Amino acid sequence: MQAFFPLRQRTLIWQFARRDVLARYRGSLLGIGWSLLTPLLMLAVYTFVFREIFKARWMNAGGDFEFALQLYAGLIVFNLFAEVLSQAPRLITDQPNLVKKVVFPLEILPWVAILVSLFHFAINLAVLLAAAAVFHGGLSLTVLALPVVLIPLLPLLLGLAWFLAALGVFVRDVSQVMSMVVGLLMFLSPVFYPTSALPPQWQPWLKANPLTPAIEQMRRVVLDGLWPDWEQCLIFAVVGCLVCWAGARWFAAARQGFADVL
């Protein structure tokens, strides 16, 4: 299991992540600017549709800009989750040469995917913090708790990526299934609404969604100026570590058959 937390291979992980980021934007006019422009355009469209057409209102939101901030906070967390899960089933199948021709630590590929997604997340988080500071006249000290809110999401993503990467080798339909799941999760997560907007009988189901704690705690510490729910963060961290452990075990057991299938 030590190989799944490869401190010795951190340089290799960094090089692969840098290569993937540069390759994604190579040749485009805006380059890395697309990583900022795309979510901002999505934010503008969603704000218009939900605010102006559906007349949606956010609890304690003072206007359109506050509504947009609440929406954006949920959207950037969801995009981090969605980007990793969408890529995970193809991490091994898209690079069969790494399986067949060379001795390569395949377990680092989910690390690379998460690092690339974190790059885009960091850009959007900087925009959110800057916008919140301008609109609220500064940031609350509670933003210092952001690592406590976000770090538990990483082992959860890592475990799911290991599981899906291995499963995707043997069941190619997983990629299509995850595309559908990600689309459904956008509306089954508190991206466009707070958990409190649901009837009480539905709230426990939404809280079982692994995205719910990260999204709600993000809004809590950045936009509401409140410290996170420490108990919820602890539970989320424990669940994330368990998923990470299970995903690593599954990947280690399944990788022996990768070469036969590919």
Cα–Cα distances in angstroms (integers) from residue 116 to residues 14, 48, 110, 121, in the given order: 9, 30, 10, 9
Q: Percentages helix, strand, coil for the chain, rounded to the nearest 5?
A: 75, 0, 25
Give percent of the chain above pLDDT 90. Answer: 32
> Would you give the distance in Å from CA 211 to the centre of its chain?
8
- Based on the number of CB atoms within 10 Å of its own CB, is 180 exposed (0-12), middle (13-18) or buried (19 or more)? exposed
Q: CA-CA distance, 73 to 127, in Å (whole number)?
A: 10
Tens digit of each residue's pLDDT (9 = 90 or more) over 73-123: 898 999 999 999 999 999 998 888 888 766 788 889 999 999 999 988 998
For 134, other C-beta atoms within 10 Å of its C-beta total 10
For helices 64-87 and 153-170, the axis angle rounded to 10 degrees is: 40
Helices (H), 191-257: 203-207, 211-222, 230-254
- pLDDT, the chain, mean: 84
pLDDT of 165 above 90 = yes
User: Residue 9 and residue 129: Cα distance in Å, rounded?
Assistant: 32
Report the percentage of the chain scoring pLDDT > 70: 89
Location of structure tokens 């959007």: 124
Provide the pLDDT for residue 144: 92
Global pTM value: 0.87
Could you tell me which of 192, 166, 215 has the C-alpha nearest to residue 61?
192
Q: Are 64 and 47 in contact (CB under 8 A)?
A: yes
Cα distance between residue 126 and residue 63, in whole Å:
22
